[in-house]
Structure 1
Amino acid sequence: MRLGLLAAACLLVPFSAAQAQGTWDHPYLEDLATPDLQTFEDEREFRRWVRDLRRAQRYITGENRAEIDPEIYVASLRVERQDPDCSPLYEDCVSAEGDDAGTVVVTGTRMRQSSLSSPMSVTTADAESITNNQSAGVDEGDIVKRMGDYLLVLQDGRIFVANFRTMELTDRIDVYRTDEDGDPIGADWYDEMLVQGDHIIIAAYSYEDDASELSVFRLNRDNGTIERRGVFLISSEDYYDVDNYATRVIGDQLVIYTPYDPQDLVNRRNRPSIRRWVPSEEFDDEDRGRAILDVRDIYRPVFGTFDPIVHTISRCDLGGLDEDNLTCESTAFIAGEAAEMFVSPENIFLATTAASYNDTSSYRVCRAREAGFEANTEAPPGAVFRIPMRRPDEVDLLAVRGVVFDQFSMEQQRSRFRMLTSWQDITCTDSWWRSERERGDIELVDVPLVRFGTRYSEPDDGRFTTLPEVDDGFFENRFVGEWLLYGSRTRYGRPPEAEEGDVFESSGLMAVPLGEPDDAQRVPLSHEITRIESLGGDAIVTGYRDDTGLIISYLDLAETAQVADAALLPGRFESESRSHAFNATIYADGDGLMGLPTVRSEHESGRYYWRSDNSDISFLRFSPSGQLTDLSDVSPAPPEDKRESEYECEVSCVDWYGNARPIFIGEGVYALMGTEIVEARALEDRVEVLRRLDLTAE
């Protein structure tokens, strides 16, 4: 921690507003960081830190807004503190002896009794899993799950239960609740469903309660009926992003991410807590629930940041659900606004950065440059925090730089951690809204887990391998076995625009052998890149070359990376971007099937998240050598074939997470499209519909 600060005194040392500086490297913000991984010792220390942060923000904001005359000079005066926890810029300081509360350093090995001291039993990688999870053994929330003979569908804030063997609806239950007038109450969006044992957990977010809502149900596997077990509220200031998932299940542990503004946590009543929901007439406002985050569980920032967020990871024990009990413990890290969570069977990783909105907003950056400030184009400091699942108190970190693109930019393979980072510079024009973003170096970090430690220091260049550039645009990346694949697309999942006579040129896909990353190779493609998915030890890449339809390439990842085959889906366009929209199965003989949602209208390709029209499901067969056969698509039943129903959606009527999924169960082939399940059979050249089930039929 710095022991001196700048103070205005006399006209000695010139200071220019055009000094290159990011919001993270202002000395007052750096002064609030501690390189050693430390938690706050007590309430007093946390409140003092928040107070100093507020004052630093006001000072820096005023400093940046001031009209600075280049002829004026400001002195630099280094002041030795009497109390290292007191800043003379912010407050009147007294000697350390006069402060009745000493400071104790708490390192990242604070030990506490953990429910994970015994070996875990991973249950999510069994034959019942039908979700395209990023990591085997780590289940992610989705809109459809399997439990025994039943498919559970989360749609319109309701759970539909269907016996996929008999294709009969066995139950339907509202996840949301109703008040005394019968009006819906509860969360605004019901997005993620997880299963554990016989329990169903629905993760949602309620803006009225400022809380993540966990609704727990139990399935009776004998008759396919559901009973409600309880609703739990975990106070939170926001939900997760449009691509990543807020929840994971590992064995009997639920992992959930929630963010908070540190200034809001000064009041203990605003601290994260978990409480069981009860009707309003029974609710005691004084009962705020059980606190799940103490200030001694919050790790101080290890680098400066202007707009810090308290990024919180909660681990909830699902073993108590039989007793209608849910207990959680949390760990939090203070860093910049952007964060991505990746969970392996052994560890929870949280990638953070020092950058804030001021550093990424073209409006803010360009306005600052107009005023004479030069924004820092260097990649900001970053840190990946790790929470071991079996020893959650032994937290450590890895110093990095830049930001990750998404959760797929990270992976743990055995004892190694890998991640892909970059940083975008902003090129300002005469109008800030015409500003352009230019991606900086794409860098690979590949280190053994033993390189994680309890102290942040600027990472040396040897930790990073600079990889070849690709075209600017939306970035797609995926670790597949011993390879890293990445590329970009220029449009949001839509066919590229081309004038008549134009020759399509693709920048191709970069394939990096992780054993020799300097030997990265560019794999020629006949299309741009919309999606990259793992398929056993190989990969699938989708994209367009024109408006004739979607192209799917099978990438053989053997000694070299090469396209084994490519198939055009004529007149069909991919309609959902989430990873769960794609799914595949490989049979014992090496053949397999894959499927993904498509639509027949080009203008609906890559449609935005609030477009909730039903998609079709396109199926393809692939051989052990990677040869593809288009089996065409399965569509929802036309309206005239459906029975009349008074069914209406009441809440959560926008399908943010999509509404279509290919489902493979043994040799069975199914398609979920909105509120319809189709059972099909894969023939040599097509998919034949066998039975349909309308989940909303009365």
Structure 2
Amino acid sequence: MKRFLIAEVTVAVFVFNLASCSRGAGDALAPAPVTVQAATPKTALHAFTSDQELRSYLKDLADKQKRRISRRQSIFGLAAPAAKSVAPSAVAGYADESITNVQHAGVDEGGIVKLHGEHLVVLHRGRLFTVALGDADLTPISSVDAFGPDIDPRGTWYDEMLISQDTIVVIGYSYQRGGTEVGLFHIDAGGTLAYQSTYHLRSNDYYSSRNYASRLIGSKLIFYSPLYLNLWGGDPFDSFPAVRKWHRGATQGEFRRIVPATRIYHPANSTDDDYDTALHTVTICDLAGGSFDCKATSVIGPAGRVFYVSPQAVYVWVTAWTYERDKAQSKSMLYRMPLDGSSPSAVGVSGSPVDQFSFLESEDEYLNVLVRTGSAGDGMWSAEGTTAGTALLRMHLASFSDGTQSIPASNYQKLPNPEGYALQNRFVGNYLLYGTGTGWWYPQKKNSAVLYAVRWTDGTVHKIALAHGIDRIEQMGDAAVVVGTDGSDLHFSAISLSGSPEEKVDYIRKGASQGELRSHAFFYKPEDQDTGMLGLPISIPVRAGYRHLFDESSAILFLRNDGLRFREIGELNANPEKAKDDSCRASCVDWYGNSQPLFCAWSRDCIARLRIGRGDH
């Protein structure tokens, strides 16, 4: 467990590894904003007309599920599964400029470091900090608790932050109070922080080892959460998505439902066989003017899920598993929930994606998805397993309807199935890249692996031999960088995607491993399409991936990309001996990481400092 406190510039740098950051830090080269004019579905899902109709439907569903479980018990002698515990989702904000390694440019993701004018804003171990950016210094300005003054933070995790204009949104989940906490803070031009208010939302927790619960597009805060329905006890409406403003002595009666029956949509196929039913909810809150006006849309479906946010819509892929004697079968449904508030649509699909990076809504009005048989979705550590088959689904957006239709087999292209665990995948330019590595486990001795590059427009498959596993795939201009270990050393492979995809260079950092696993731990600062700088936290060799939750990174390594040739600029070392006890009260394990590389764009001095004497900063 780390015990840090920002009390001076050096501590600010080493605790959060805010390596030479600046107001000029540009967007990571995420795919360009998509300008899809989605074809209108022939039909959409049907909403319930009233609470009475919804209540009747839920009662009927509960009766059917009871009968099915009873039959299953009589056949197998199995006990009914315990109901899942309830937990909520996340919220976000907007900054002047993205310093986050996001999937889509223009779609910000909840994270731990954001930029506001001349200041960095950091969410760390239950506290908010601001740091002023200067040509040579990072000066601490302000710090406050990431929760309200009358809130007991025990049992609460504050994991995501977004900024909209001068409003900072901190999203947490309280196991003590049983709901999502959304804290609003004001930040002024001088970087001073002030607490404003807290809202509680009723929902289940969205937790994933890869994905993020919240997104921000303009002033619209978007978050997804599944709410697992307990159909057999009490009034189900008592657990439906709702919001209340927090104050001392707040009661359950103050919750206001934010999803009426007329915004809850019928499941597109039968979920009778699935006793794990969820209300998949997309909530959009308008943060303009510091308000918190939220509206929600829900669909009823199986509990298993992967979700993806494009600039136009939220996609939720749900999978129901049924077991007959010793056979397991799955059926999946893909929902499209437009961000303009129009009705959701759905279509039957096969298999399941690995995580959010398995999706791309492309400019030609197609949705492209890497799917696998037996995939368990992007829940906590679910994406780290292995499955039997891999395919590329390519479907036109007009294929969505009321869910009575399914995508034909001809839309799935069978792909080579990689050996191993912890599949990584990413759409970069016109290619889908994928392969397997170590993930959260201990590095394996591996001196060969295959990176598959699939041109998604025509299905052409290329195999690229690498001398290491594949633990991270990131965009780097028109190219990609693949990071992985051979069991002892850390490799950075530059992959050219112009012409026939190929590895151009393999830069090896001896005696190192990745210090962080999440996508936000990487950052690439382009200077033009062929040159730029990248940064990644590193740690000691042969360290298990999960140790990043408990151990800080040894350093952040900086490389310069010159036409797909890498050279080391320097590194920023941690200084644990300067750490101080911060009397942590909440979020004392960094699920979302504790290191993030950032770059300055206007000061040569900050780059020079990295070149001179490592560990002196």
Q: TM-score range by the shorter chain?
A: 0.7 to 0.9
Flag the 1:329–1:352 CA change in 2: closer, same or farther, 3 A: same
Gaps of 5+ in 1: 1-34, 69-122, 360-364, 427-435, 498-503, 670-678, 693-698
Q: Distance in 2 between matches of 1:312 and 1:178?
A: 30
Q: 2:6 is matched with which residue?
A: none
1:509 aligns with 2:451: yes
The answer to whether 1:176 aligns with 2:127 is: no
Q: CA deviation at 1:58?
A: 2.2
Cα deviation for residue 145 of structure 1 reads 0.6
Equivalent residue, structure 1, for 2:45: 37
Q: Does the C-alpha gap of structure 1 residues 60 and 668 become closer, same or farther in structure 2, counting only changes over 3 Å? A: farther
Q: CA deviation at 1:689?
A: 6.2
| Cα distance, 1:296–1:568 mapped onto 2, change above 3 Å | same
- Matched residue type, 2:344: V
TM-superposition CA deviations, 1:54-73 (whole Å, max 9, x none): 222222222223259xxxxx
| Alignment-derived partner of residue 613 in structure 1 | 552
Partner of 2:22: none
AA matched with 2:458: E
Distance 1:286 1:41 in 2: 24
Which piece of structure 1 moves more, 504-513 or 326-335?
Answer: 504-513
Contact 1:593 1:621 in 2 (8 A): yes
Q: Is 2:154–2:586's contact at 8 Å kept on the other side of the alignment?
A: no
Give the Cα separation in 2 of the matches to 1:425 and 1:238.
21
2:516 alignment counterpart: 576
2:431 corresponding residue in structure 1: 483
Deviation at 1:646, TM superposition (A): 5.7
Indicate conservation of the 8 Å contact 1:681/1:689, yes or no: no
2:439, 2:517 within 8 Å by CA — same for their partners in 1?
A: no
Cα distance between partner residues in 1 of 2:596 and 2:132: 17
Asked if the contact 1:615/1:660 (under 8 Å) is kept, the reply is no
Find the partner of 2:266 among 300, 322, 327: 300
In structure 2, distance between residues paired with 1:550 and 1:336? 40
Residue 36 and residue 528 in structure 1: after superposition, are their counterparts in 2 closer, same or farther (change >3 A)? same
Does residue 394 of the first structure (1) align with residue 343 of the second (2)?
yes
Deviation at 1:512, TM superposition (A): 0.3
Q: Displacement of 1:241 after TM fit?
A: 1.6
Shift of 1:628: 0.8
Q: How far did 1:544 drift? A: 1.7
Deviation of 1:146 (Å): 0.7
> Is residue 61 of structure 1 aligned with residue 69 of structure 2?
yes
Q: Distance in 2 between matches of 1:188 and 1:461?
A: 45
2:327 matches 1:375: yes
Q: Is the 8 A contact 2:522 2:596 kept in 1?
A: yes
Matched residue count? 545
Correspondence for 1:664: 599
2:14 is matched with which residue?
none
Equivalent position of 2:202 in the other structure: 235
Preserved CA contact (<8 Å) 2:185 2:193: yes
1:354 paired to 2:296:
no
2:590 pairs with 1:622: no
Deviation of the 1:472 alpha carbon: 3.3
Correspondence for 1:204:
172
Give the whole-Å Cα distance in 1 for the aligned partners of 2:576 and 2:246: 41
Query: What is the correspondence of 1:198-347 to structure 2 with a 5 Å cutoff?
Result: 198-221=166-189, 223-263=190-230, 266-280=235-249, 283-288=250-255, 290-305=256-271, 306=274, 307-321=276-290, 325-347=291-313
Contact 2:371 2:391 in 1 (8 A): yes
Offset at residue 124 of structure 1 (A): 5.9
Aligned-residue RMSD, C-alpha: 2.8
Residue in 1 that maps onto 2:82: none
Deviations 1:600-631 (A, max 9, x none): 2x34341346314344211111112x001133
Q: Deviations over 1:486-508 (max 9, x none)?
A: 111256354214xxxxxx55241
Whether 2:362 is the aligned partner of 1:413: answer yes
User: Aligned pair in 2 of structure 1 residues 339, 543: CA closer, same or farther (>3 Å)?
Assistant: same
Shift of 1:205: 0.5
Which residue in 2 is equivalent to 1:429?
none
**Cα drift, residue 139 of structure 1:** 0.3
Tell me the equivalent position of 1:633. 571
Match of 2:28 in 1: none
Correspondence for 1:17: none
CA 1:490/1:193 → structure 2, altered by over 3 Å: closer, same or farther? Answer: closer
Aligned: 1:190 with 2:158:
yes
Secondary structure of residue in 1 paired with 2:201: strand
Question: Matches of 1:207 and 1:638 in 2, distance apart?
Answer: 31
- Equivalent position to 1:422, from 364, 367, 372: 372
Task: Check 1:657–1:263 CA distance in 2 against 1; reply closer, same or farther (3 A cut).
Answer: same
Secondary structure of 2:230 counterpart = helix
Distance verdict in 2 for CA 1:185–1:457, change over 3 Å? same
Compared with structure 1, are the counterparts of its residues 130 and 484 closer, same or farther at alpha carbon in structure 2 (3 Å cutoff)? Answer: same
Q: Distance in 2 between matches of 1:467 and 1:292?
A: 42
Structure possessing the higher radius of gyration over alpha carbons = 1
Asked whether 1:562 is paired with 2:507, we answer: no
Contact 1:477 1:532 in 2 (8 A): yes
The superposition leaves residues 542-576 of structure 1 with CA deviations (integer Å, 9 ceiling, x where unpaired) of 112231x1011011110111011011111111021
Residue 459 of structure 1: how far off its partner (Å): 2.5
If the length of structure 2 is used for normalisation, what is the TM-score?
Answer: 0.82
Residues 397, 453 of structure 1: 8 Å contact kept: yes
Partners of 2:451 and 2:185 lie apart in 1 by 44
SS of the equivalent of 1:446 reads strand
Alignment correspondent of 1:10: none
Q: SS where residue 48 of structure 1 aligns? A: helix
Which deviates more, 145-154 or 582-591?
Answer: 582-591
Describe the shift of the 1:263–1:295 C-alpha distance in structure 2 as closer, same or farther (beyond 3 A).
farther
CA distance, structure 1, for counterparts of residue 576 and residue 326 of structure 2 = 59
Partners of 1:382 and 1:400 within 8 A in 2? yes
Which letter does structure 1 place at the counterpart of 2:326?
Answer: E
- Deviation for aligned residue 1:394: 3.0
Q: Is the 8 A contact 1:438 1:472 kept in 2?
A: yes
- CA drift of 1:397 comes to 2.1
Describe the shift of the 1:577–1:687 C-alpha distance in structure 2 as closer, same or farther (beyond 3 A): farther
Q: Secondary structure at the match of 1:613?
A: coil
* Compared CA separation, residues 442 and 637, structure 1 to 2 (3 A): same
Assess, with a 3 A threshold, how the Cα gap between structure 1 residues 206 and 471 changes in structure 2: closer, same or farther: same
Give 1:274 deviation, angstroms.
1.4
- Tell me if the contact between 1:341 and 1:351 (Cα under 8 Å) persists in the aligned partners: yes
2:607 matched residue in structure 1:
681
SS of 1:661's equivalent in the other structure is: coil
Measure the CA separation in 1 of the matches of 2:212 and 2:375.
28
SS at match of 1:598: strand
Corresponding residue for residue 484 of structure 2: 543
The one-letter amino acid of 2:331's match is P
Question: Using a 3 Å threshold, how does the CA distance of structure 1 residues 536 and 590 change in structure 2: closer, same or farther?
Answer: closer
- 1:142 lines up with 2:117 in the alignment: no
Give 3-state SS (helix, strand or coil) of 2:480's partner: strand
Instruction: Tell me if the contact between 1:350 and 1:386 (Cα under 8 Å) persists in the aligned partners.
Output: yes
Pair 284,125 (structure 1): closer, same or farther in 2 beyond 3 Å? closer
What are the equivalent positions in structure 2 for 1:158-169 lying under 5 Å apart?
158-165=127-134, 166-169=137-140
Structure 2 unaligned blocks of 5 or more: 1-42, 77-92, 377-383
Distance in 1 (alpha carbons) for counterparts of 2:465 and 2:207: 35
Q: CA deviation at 1:454?
A: 2.6
Higher relative contact order (CA 8 A, sep 6+): 2
Q: 1:22-33 maps to which residues of 2 (within 5 A)?
A: none
Output the amino acid matched with 2:148: R
Counterpart secondary structure, 1:254: strand
| 1:252-308 deviation per Cα after TM superposition (whole angstroms, max 9, x unaligned) | 10001122123369443332111111122xx354322x3201122111222233111
What residue is the counterpart of 2:11 in the other structure? Answer: none
Task: Assess if the C-alpha contact under 8 Å between 2:148 and 2:197 holds in 1.
Answer: no
- Alignment partners' CA distance in 2, 1:245 and 1:350: 14
Q: How far is the alpha carbon of 1:688 from its aligned partner? A: 5.3
Q: Which amino acid aligns with 1:613?
A: E
SS in 2 for 1:529: coil
Q: Distance in 2 between matches of 1:240 and 1:491?
A: 17
Percent identity over paired residues = 29
